[in-house]
């Protein structure tokens, strides 16, 4: 089983108190739950409990850290009173009342859809052409979202189809395979366009999700669909049920996510997953469909359920994914019947025991962890040009496809020094595009890019964006790079668990003359120490960290990353500023390490604050209600205080960092976003 080696990480980063060792990913990491069954289960008599007390299930999931609720929508399900438009509105309202975002899942059917079943809604049976059906998809999607928006219920994400591996919206008797990708792309594109058009009329512009079952199917499916014209969607959504989808394990699923993200320049998330907490059941009619554990995990227990989910979600985050949604944590047993019999055939996969009591040691715990993608969605890109010998009386400009939507605009560049001008922006990781420089604010004043470096359109410069900040610097009308005399290089080390009583140091060949000296590092925060210097582009050398001002107190660098002298770390300097950040005695990168609140108070382990970051409310989780909550600014000024409550309204505060003091002793940091 994969073990978590890092402390908890935040899903939204604020530089004032996070240690940023690379480009920051400001996108929310989704910790979601599909609660499509909750309304029905409650109407059937289900009572959800936490610590023996009846509690609203939405509140339970929110309190544990859920920030996204997924709900399914069937077109006209005459066989049930649930997952129709009225039911969906109720679910969205419940989620939004707790400030959770919503993923609305259009099945485009009157019943369940999956890789083995994609029946067209009865109301659309009349259609005989793809164009007719495309119009129905567009109108239905647009009108549904417009109606939700009119009631303040526009979802933040919209899933256009559910597990659309096979042919979508087919009549009974029509084969699902082989897939007519041209037809599927046409119909899915209609839904995508409808979401965009409805979003244009709303203060919320939903992102669109295309959903495929089993990560192993994603590469071929999206390759075929893209070739057939599928376009305009924002997120690749995957179902991953490890007991069924056995061709890849957790780690391999992470590899698939990273590959999809790079290949298609899309965000990726797990929109469905599940794992049993037991192989036992109490229902006599409904048979449990999921038994056994994921490969590499012990027999199902609540703790194993949680371990799997934490491992999976950590892997998703570290692979650049944007979230994980659990299906369906509240589908408990009731006297009512579903398509599969009386009760629930999923009761051993929920987060509740057979008495509907929340299992705090079980899967719900994955929501309480904090995750952040180690792969940014955007990076900072700087364009530089040396205008030596070229007139700049009318200014210096750059133009290019910096937004990824094909639109070019002329942007002024700022004078930097000498004859060098620069412009900095953020561009999505994995994107490519063209650009060139101009010496006036018109298209006719452009440079002539030499053929050997006119890699875009045979006339323009080209960029390809990686996962680190980058600089593209050239002489006007030339392929010759503008090379700075020096760049800023920062060395950082995480000393967690290592004595620093004698200081922290770094040594290396920082002068280029082969002379090594021991240099003191500065405490930054928590267990992080840092040293910054300037080095020449093209230079390389070795370095390592020490915890005293002598050579014998050095770290032992693992062989895997002792790439110079078989004992030391190595640096190679390019043309841009760079940071080398590692954990002492480890090859692990100190990515976005957090100064834990536990560093401030040993009592912190007894409480947690949710959500954090927060925009409206923060709430202390625990069995005892605090007598006093006091919120301070970073300057130590009291901002607000409340008594005898777990909840504090921070909606009127400015965004930033605050310190929460609970009952005068327990301290933790809070981010307002």
The torsion of the CA quartet 353, 356, 358, 362, rounded to 10 degrees, works out to 20
Mean pLDDT of 130-156: 97
Mean pLDDT of 417-438: 88
Under the banding of pLDDT at 50, 70 and 90, the label for residue 375 is: low
Q: Which domains does the chain have, with CATH numbers?
A: 30-368 (3.20.20.80), 378-475 (2.60.40.10), 487-583 (2.60.40.10), 599-672 (2.60.40.10)
Q: Tell whether the model's pLDDT for residue 6 goes beyond 50.
A: no
Average pLDDT over the chain reads 86
The Cα–Cα gap between 662 and 139 comes to 52
What's the pLDDT at 364? 97
pLDDT tens sequence across 217-258: 999 999 999 999 999 999 999 999 999 999 899 999 999 998
Taking CA atoms, 76 is separated from 79, 80, 106, 120, 159, in Å, by 9, 9, 12, 11, 18
What's the pLDDT at 15? 27
Q: Tell whether the model's pLDDT for residue 18 goes beyond 50.
A: no
Name which of 563-577, 580-594, 633-647 the model is least confident about.
Answer: 580-594
Please state, as a whole number, how many other Cβ atoms lie within 10 Å of the Cβ of residue 199: 20
Q: Tell whether the model's pLDDT for residue 417 goes beyond 60.
A: yes
More confident residue, 376 or 453: 453
Q: Comparing C-alpha atoms, which of 97, 107, 46 is closest to residue 69?
A: 97
Under the banding of pLDDT at 50, 70 and 90, the label for residue 284 is: low
Q: Cβ distance 653 to 639 under 8 Å?
A: yes
Q: Which range, 103-117, 377-391, 615-629, has the best average confidence (pLDDT)?
A: 103-117
What's the pLDDT at 488? 84
Please state, as a whole number, how many other Cβ atoms lie within 10 Å of the Cβ of residue 389: 9
In the numeric block, the tokens 């959504």 are attached to: 237
What's the pLDDT at 290? 92
Under the banding of pLDDT at 50, 70 and 90, the label for residue 271 is: very high
Mean pLDDT of 256-269: 91
Under the banding of pLDDT at 50, 70 and 90, the label for residue 307 is: very high
pLDDT tens sequence across 31-76: 999 999 999 999 999 999 999 999 999 999 999 999 999 999 999 9
More confident residue, 611 or 627: 627
85: left (phi over 0), alpha (psi -120 to 50) or beta: alpha
Name which of 186-190, 435-439, 583-587 the model is least confident about.
Answer: 583-587
The Cα–Cα gap between 656 and 614 comes to 10
Mean pLDDT of 400-407: 80
Name which of 158-172, 281-295, 432-446, 609-623 the model is least confident about.
Answer: 609-623
Under the banding of pLDDT at 50, 70 and 90, the label for residue 10 is: very low
pTM equals 0.59
The Cα–Cα gap between 301 and 291 comes to 11
pLDDT tens sequence across 175-217: 999 999 999 999 999 999 999 999 999 999 999 999 999 999 9
What's the pLDDT at 635? 53
Q: Tell whether the model's pLDDT for residue 4 goes beyond 70.
A: no
Q: Tell whether the model's pLDDT for residue 664 goes beyond 80.
A: no
- 3-state SS, residue 328: coil
- 3-state SS, residue 364: helix
**Is 480 an active-site residue?**
no
Q: Tell whether the model's pLDDT for residue 513 goes beyond 80.
A: no
What's the pLDDT at 577? 74
Choosing from 50, 163, 347, 555, the catalytic residue is 163
Q: Tell whether the model's pLDDT for residue 654 goes beyond 60.
A: yes
The dihedral sign for the CA sequence 319, 322, 328, 330: positive
Choosing from 272, 347, 369, 447, the catalytic residue is 272
SS3 sequence, 517-577? EEEECEEEECCEEEEEEEECCCCEEEEEEECCCCHHHECCCCHHHCCECCCEEEEECCCCC
Q: Comparing C-alpha atoms, which of 392, 462, 478 is closest to residue 427?
A: 462
**Is 303 an active-site residue?**
no
- Alpha carbon of residue 652 to chain centroid: 27
Phi, psi of 78 (to 5 degrees): -65, -15
Q: Comparing C-alpha atoms, which of 616, 588, 659, 626 is closest to residue 21?
A: 588
Q: Which range, 354-358, 571-575, 664-668, has the best average confidence (pLDDT)?
A: 354-358
How far is it between the farthest Cα atoms of the chain? 86
Under the banding of pLDDT at 50, 70 and 90, the label for residue 621 is: low
Q: Cβ distance 195 to 158 under 8 Å?
A: yes
pLDDT tens sequence across 586-616: 887 664 332 223 333 333 334 566 666 676 7
Under the banding of pLDDT at 50, 70 and 90, the label for residue 524 is: confident
Q: Tell whether the model's pLDDT for residue 642 goes beyond 90.
A: no
What's the pLDDT at 486? 80
What's the pLDDT at 636? 60
Q: Tell whether the model's pLDDT for residue 354 goes beyond 90.
A: yes
What's the pLDDT at 25? 34
Q: Tell whether the model's pLDDT for residue 77 goes beyond 80.
A: yes
Rg (CA), the chain: 28
What's the pLDDT at 455? 87
More confident residue, 312 or 653: 312
Residue 327's contacts (CB-CB under 8 Å, 6 or more residues apart) are 34, 70, 272, 273, 274
SS3 sequence, 98-160? CCCEEEEEECCCCCCCECCECECCHHHCCCCCHHHHHHHHHHHHHHHHHHHHHCCCCCCEEEE
């Amino acid at each position: 089983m994969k073990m978590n080696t890092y402390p908890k990480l935040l899903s939204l980063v604020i530089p004032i108190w996070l240690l940023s060792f690379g480009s920051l990913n400001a996108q929310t990491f989704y910790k979601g739950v599909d609660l499509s069954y909750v309304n029905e289960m409650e109407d059937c008599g289900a009572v959800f409990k936490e610590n023996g007390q009846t509690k609203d299930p939405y509140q339970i999931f929110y309190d544990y850290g859920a920030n996204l609720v997924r709900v399914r929508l069937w077109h006209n399900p005459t066989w049930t009173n649930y997952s129709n438009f009225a039911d969906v509105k109720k679910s969205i309202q419940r989620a939004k009342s707790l400030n959770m975002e919503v993923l609305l899942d259009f099945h485009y059917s009157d019943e369940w859809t999956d890789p083995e079943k994609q029946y067209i809604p009865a109301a659309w049976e009349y259609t005989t052409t793809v164009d007719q059906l495309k119009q129905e998809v567009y109108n239905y999607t647009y009108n549904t979202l417009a109606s939700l928006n009119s009631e303040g219920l526009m979802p933040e994400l919209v899933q256009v189809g559910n597990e659309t591996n096979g042919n979508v919206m087919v009549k009974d008797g029509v084969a699902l395979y082989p897939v007519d990708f041209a037809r599927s792309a046409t119909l899915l594109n209609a839904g995508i366009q409808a979401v965009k058009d409805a979003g244009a009329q709303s203060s919320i512009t939903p992102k669109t999700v295309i959903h495929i079952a089993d990560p192993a199917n994603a590469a071929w499916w999206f390759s075929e669909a893209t070739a057939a014209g599928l376009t305009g969607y924002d997120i690749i959504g995957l179902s991953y049920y490890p007991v069924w989808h056995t061709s890849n394990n957790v780690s391999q699923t992470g590899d698939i996510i990273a590959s999809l993200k790079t290949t298609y320049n899309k965000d990726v998330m797990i929109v469905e997953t599940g794992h049993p907490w037991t192989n036992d059941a109490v229902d006599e009619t409904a048979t449990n469909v999921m038994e056994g554990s994921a490969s590499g995990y012990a027999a199902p227990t609540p703790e194993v359920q949680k371990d799997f989910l934490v491992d999976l979600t950590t892997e998703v985050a570290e692979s650049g994914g944007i979230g994980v949604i659990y299906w369906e944590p509240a589908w408990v047993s009731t006297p009512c019947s579903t398509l599969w019999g009386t009760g629930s055939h999923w009761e051993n996969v929920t987060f509740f025991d057979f008495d509907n009591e929340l299992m705090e040691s079980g899967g719900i715990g994955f929501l309480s962890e904090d995750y952040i993608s180690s792969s940014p969605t955007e990076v900072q890109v700087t364009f530089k040009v040396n205008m030596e010998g070229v007139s700049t009386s009318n200014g210096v400009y750059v133009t290019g496809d910096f937004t990824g939507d094909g639109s070019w605009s002329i942007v002024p560049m700022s004078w930097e020094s000498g004859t060098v001008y620069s412009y900095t922006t953020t561009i999505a990781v994995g994107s490519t595009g063209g650009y060139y420089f101009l010496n006036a604010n018109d298209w006719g004043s452009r440079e002539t890019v030499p053929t050997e470096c006119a890699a875009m359109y045979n006339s323009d410069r080209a960029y390809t964006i990686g996962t680190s900040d980058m600089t593209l610097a050239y002489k006007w009308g030339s392929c010759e790079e503008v090379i700075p005399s020096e760049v800023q290089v920062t060395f950082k080390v995480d000393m967690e668990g290592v004595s620093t009583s004698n200081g922290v140091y770094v040594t290396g060949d920082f002068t280029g003359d082969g002379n090594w000296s021991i240099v003191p590092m500065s405490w930054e925060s928590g267990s992080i120490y840092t040293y910054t210097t300037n080095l020449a582009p093209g230079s390389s050398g070795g370095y390592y960290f020490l915890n005293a001002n002598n050579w014998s107190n050095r770290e032992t660098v693992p062989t895997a990353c002792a790439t110079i002298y078989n004992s030391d770390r190595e640096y190679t300097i390019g043309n841009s500023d760079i940071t080398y950040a590692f954990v002492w005695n480890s090859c692990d990168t100190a990515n976005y390490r957090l100064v834990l609140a536990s560093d401030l108070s040993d009592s912190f382990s007894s409480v947690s604050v949710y959500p954090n970051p927060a925009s409206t409310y923060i709430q202390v989780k625990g069995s005892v209600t605090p007598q006093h909550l006091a919120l301070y600014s970073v300057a130590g000024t009291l901002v607000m205080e409340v008594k005898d409550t777990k909840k504090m309204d921070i909606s009127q505060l400015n965004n930033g960092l605050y310190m929460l003091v609970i009952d005068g002793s327990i301290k933790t940091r809070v981010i307002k976003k």
